Amino acid sequence: MNLSANISDLELTWEFIAKKSILAAVLGVEMILGIAGNTLILFTKIKGRGQFKSQYWVSVVSLSLSDLGCSLFVISSSLLAVLINGQRSPWCEVVCLLKFAFITSSLGSLAVLCMQQALDLACRGRHLSIAVGAGCLISWLTGMLFGTVPVAFKWIRYDPAEMLCAVFWENNYSAMLAYILCAFCICIFPPFLLVVLGSVLTSAGWIRNGSRDPDDLSSVTPLLVSFYLLCYTPFAVSELVLLGRLDQSPAPDWLRTLSSVTAYLDCGINPFIYCTNQDFRVAMMGLLWTNRKAPSEPVLTAVAKLDL
């Protein structure tokens, strides 16, 4: 009996170590790709802006800032939580707030980008750039506002499955229902509807003045939208499972872990998506090329005399 119990405990220990090692490796790769890739993308967008076409640069930069922030703060915090088996307050609450803010800001930036492309609202003037920037800023602020509510009401605690602090509901189903529905109706559904509407209008070719350039960086928007929706589908499913359970029990552990891993994956994939644009890829490689010295003036080294 004791021998069997020891063997079972040893198997569980090795299973726990293997799972922890795999998660740490996956999160480490996602963090490196997210930080290095989005830093390079932002550097190229700002430093090499004149080397490629980008009519919708405000929303594109906002999306990259969201991905970089998620990689710097949220993914790194999840990796650390896996390594030390937990997260402490107050950083626990801060990361939960930031995660919600980055989710809504990235979706809001995509919505603005899709509608700009569908209506051909390029940032050619100061007023339009301010309006687009205000739209992106609103998505950031609403995300932070709704991320603050669970912190204020102390609904936050560490979730080993999600690898960071998350919202847990214990006794108040009505509060959970009201919060999730309000967050969905204000932060998620409107930008999601704009993403779908903008994508449909663009696919249908409904452009107001037909001036869209196929070589513009916005040509990668369909890929950005597709991978965003794919990566955040497990997160949406886990929230719907929670909403449908009257006993307020969360979704299965594997689904919550998958939702975090795939959501983080979106931050690391986006830099590769931008590189599918040839002009942007050339500009990025040009900035990375270290031997970019200007050619020196020709120097006369010898004179040959011709016999006539």
Q: What is the DSSP string of 164-222?
A: EEEE--SS-HHHHHHHHHHHIIIIIHHHHHHHHHHHHHHHTT--SSS---TTSGGGGHH
Tokens of 67: 């991905």
Specify the CATH number for the domain of residue 212.
1.20.1070.10
Q: Give residue-wise pLDDT tens across range 164-194.
A: 888 776 666 677 778 878 888 888 888 999 8
Tokens of 191: 């930008």
For residue 29, what are the β-bridge partners?
none
Task: Return mean pLDDT, the chain.
Answer: 80
Q: What pLDDT, on a 0 to 100 scale, did the predictor assign at position 8? A: 52
**pLDDT surpasses 70 at 275:** yes
69 conformational bin, left if phi > 0, alpha if psi -120 to 50, beta if neither: alpha
Instruction: Indicate the range of 33-37, 56-60, 98-102, 141-145 predicted with least confidence.
Output: 56-60
Q: What pLDDT, on a 0 to 100 scale, did the predictor assign at position 299? A: 46
- Residue 246: inside a domain: yes
Average pLDDT value for residue range 279-305: 62
| Segment of 10-19, 168-177, 255-264 carrying the highest mean pLDDT | 255-264
- Residue 307: inside a domain: no
- Residue 3: inside a domain: no
154 conformational bin, left if phi > 0, alpha if psi -120 to 50, beta if neither: left
- Residue 300: inside a domain: no
- Residue 143: inside a domain: yes
Burial of 31 (0-12, 13-18, 19+ CB in 10 A): buried
**pTM > 0.85:** no
Nearest to 274 by CA among 10, 8, 26, 38: 38
Q: What pLDDT, on a 0 to 100 scale, did the predictor assign at position 3? A: 47
Q: Give residue-wise pLDDT tens across range 141-161.
A: 998 888 888 888 888 888 888
Nearest to 163 by CA among 94, 92, 221: 92
Nearest to 37 by CA among 269, 227, 263: 269
- Residue 248: inside a domain: yes
- Omega before 90 within 30 of 0, i.e. cis: yes
Tokens of 141: 């602020």
Could you list the residue range(s) of the whole structural domain that residue 77 is in? Answer: 12-286
- Residue 22: inside a domain: yes
Report d(CA 196, CA 101) in Å as an integer: 21
- Collapse the DSSP code of 72 into the 3-class scheme (helix H, G, I; strand E, B; otherwise coil) and give the result: helix
DSSP secondary structure string for all residues of 251-290: PPHHHHHHHHHHHHHHHHHHHHHHTTSHHHHHHHHHHH-S
- Residue 296: inside a domain: no
Number of domains present in the structure of the chain: 1
Report d(CA 213, CA 54) in Å as an integer: 9
Q: What pLDDT, on a 0 to 100 scale, did the predictor assign at position 12? A: 55
